[in-house]
Chain A
Amino acid sequence: MFLQQLVNGIVLGSTYALIALGYTMVYGIIELINFAHGEIYMFGAFIGMILVTVYQVPFFIAFFLAMALASLLGITVEYLAYRPLRRSTRLAALISAIGASIFLQNLALLIMGSRPYSFPSPFVSKIYKTSFVTISKVEVIILIVSFLLMLGLTFLIQKTKIGIAMRATAQDKDTASLMGININKVITATFAVGSALGAAAGVMVGIYFRSVTPMMGLMPGLKGFVAAVLGGIGSIPGAMLGGLLLGVAEVMGAAYISSQYRDAVAFMILIVVLLFKPSGLIGSSLQEKV
């Protein structure tokens, strides 16, 4: 049973990690908690669902299209809600982020209504059973895809030109721009990549739980934020670790403490981390953030 719960926790945690990456990348670059990120995740899931059910697009194409369209949405949100406030106080941008989140949530409610929509699984459901652990095909796919996306992101950040530009911008925006880096371009790219990862998580959660609703971004959005803070906001490996830890902690809390306090466990962890290690598990307070 312990192993099974561990697997449950890791699957859940890998989706948190993908969401947390979006928070942490944006924070690393412009020190803004992008509260609209949970809604981008939700839009990603809706786009995927609509492409698959209405337009009959093959799932893997729909998956990448959802990531691309959610990137555009992320870029638009940055352009309309955050860019005009870049030189104002951080609180103004934060409030703008909360506003963007509420706006997107209600936009989805207006367009889609409040009922949940069914997201048919593109895979033949199959269960792999060993003597200790049962895991379904969807779960295996979620684990593999999350792993590949995180690997891809690490490569992007470490090896590519835009990744180096992102790291430079995160360290010192002004110096980076003196070195000829186009800051606006870097910020746009950051939102694009973060939103794409969020959308990927949204689509995978959609097929995992077979449904999408306009409210689905709320809790995972908060949990993704908690995971990012847990790992050390601004740190990419931190977000991955924080997501996995949070998922496992939540599942273990539900299994061994009480299922009533499942969400409480997540937020308790946040409070404890903030009290004892405000910079997070991996995060460093002043040095490089991405």
Chain B
Amino acid sequence: MIDSIFIGVLALQGAFAEHSASLQRLELDRNIDVILVRTPGDLSECDALIIPGGESTTIALLARLAGLLDPLKEFVKSKPVWGTCAGAILLSESIVGAKKGGQELLGGTSVKIARNGWGSQVESFEVPLSLSDVGDTSRPFRGFFIRAPVVLDLSSPSQSGQYPPITIVARIPPSLLPPSLIESNNVVSEDDPRTIVALRQGRHLLTTFHPELTEDNRFHEYFMRNCVLAGGMGKDHKPSTATTATFG
């Protein structure tokens, strides 16, 4: 029997069912078993974890109430984790726009992120994204941005060396950034960190949009191949300089 690989999907709140369905559609040479993670016992069986979109405040609270917060913090230190939308917020080192009184994060990447960068639901949008580092970059990916967060910064200088290098997988055009984030008269350059919507840092993947809501499996495959099955942290691809920012 071929060894199964156990991929957890954090199922406390949010779009976990779609991630599970996307994973089950993948055709890899390893068998994927999806575990819906609701308790520390579920988590202990997982080789890797996906944290879905939802409300980051709710997910963090439910994680604490379920006794999952500390096990999750330990998990992100050693195992591959992918966060979409709210999940990306939880994997960040620091956030802007936390609820009053602050909220808990898991950390795991050096990224600083702003919650709900675009405003209310009616500002949600979809845009075709061109990808890099992903297997098939010839066609765009449909990005759904739903009350999406915005990456503010990739790392602070004091952290250099603590984190593996970052590979940028997708950006949006600067013109799509929320006006509230852009200082007046400032032209945002193409390589501004705020235009980043998908990035990989070592074995962690962050996407501020929702690949699980399409039938396009490229991100799930990318996570499996480059984060989960790739093994070590150092096996980065050699993407073109235009799409890569390396820190540390």
Q: Do A and B bind each other?
A: no
